[in-house]
Each structure stands twice: as C-alpha cells, then as structure tokens.
C-alpha cells in the first residue's frame, strides 16, 4: 500500500482541487505511480513504486465521473484498477460502502485511489 499526502491550506480548500494519478508501466518488477494535486494557486506531485505481482490477463477500471464533495475526516474512493486472471469480472462505477470496497479488492492485484480531508 502506498499513501500519498498533500497539505492544502484553508485558502486552497475554498477553490476546486483536482487530483490525478498516473501509472507508469515498464519492464521492471515495480509499477511506478505519480500523484498530482492541482489548485488554482499551484500544484504538488509525488512519486512511488508498488511491486508487481505477476502478468495478469484481465484489467478493469472504475471510478467517479463527476466532482466529489468531501467532508473532513471522510475517505472517498474515487477510482480503482483491478488486474486478474479470472475469466469474468464485475466492477462498480462508484464505491460508497465498505462491502463494495471488499468486493472489488478480492482479486490478485488491485489499486484503490481515494481522497481524505484531514483537519
């Protein structure tokens, strides 16, 4: 599990915040991730690596299509990537409860992107 944290000032919290995750795949045994937070007054970025498990034949992605409103202390899943060798996979477009998160993470390799506002 990789956890990226970015501090936003009270002023930044009054304007729209955009969050981007990018996965860079290569021949190494790690997937490289880049995380960027953008506001009207600037941006910050972080990088990290996650060990690959194996080559898996099926990949599915899901996430929210619209802006997400957050409350302080609330963690919201906004996207996921599932990689599996199973012949069929049923994903969700939006994960709102813990049971849905458990259902989507019951595969060989899963990446879950979430946002949480902390005080």
pLDDT (mean) for 44-51: 84
**Which pTM value belongs to this model?**
0.71
**Is the pLDDT assigned to residue 94 strictly greater than 80?**
no
Tokens of 41: 């007054």
Q: Domain residues of the chain, as ranges?
A: 12-52, 53-119
Backbone angles phi, psi at 13, to 5 degrees: -70, -15
pLDDT band at 2 (very low <50, low <70, confident <90, very high): low
Residue matched to tokens 């990949």:
59
Residue 92, pLDDT score: 65
- End-to-end, the C-alpha distance of the chain in Å comes to 23
- Structure token pair of residue 45: 């970025």
């Amino acid at each position: 599990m990789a956890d990226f944290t970015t501090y936003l000032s009270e002023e930044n919290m009054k304007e729209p915040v955009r969050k981007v995750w990018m996965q860079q795949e290569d021949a190494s045994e790690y997937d490289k991730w880049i995380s960027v937070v953008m506001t009207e007054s600037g941006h910050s970025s972080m990088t990290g690596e996650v060990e690959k498990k194996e080559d898996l034949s099926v990949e599915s992605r899901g996430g929210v299509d619209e802006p997400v409103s957050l409350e302080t202390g609330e963690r919201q899943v906004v996207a996921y990537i599932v990689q599996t060798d199973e012949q069929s996979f049923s994903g969700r477009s939006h994960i709102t409860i813990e049971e849905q998160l458990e259902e989507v993470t019951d595969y060989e390799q899963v990446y879950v992107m979430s946002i949480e506002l902390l005080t």
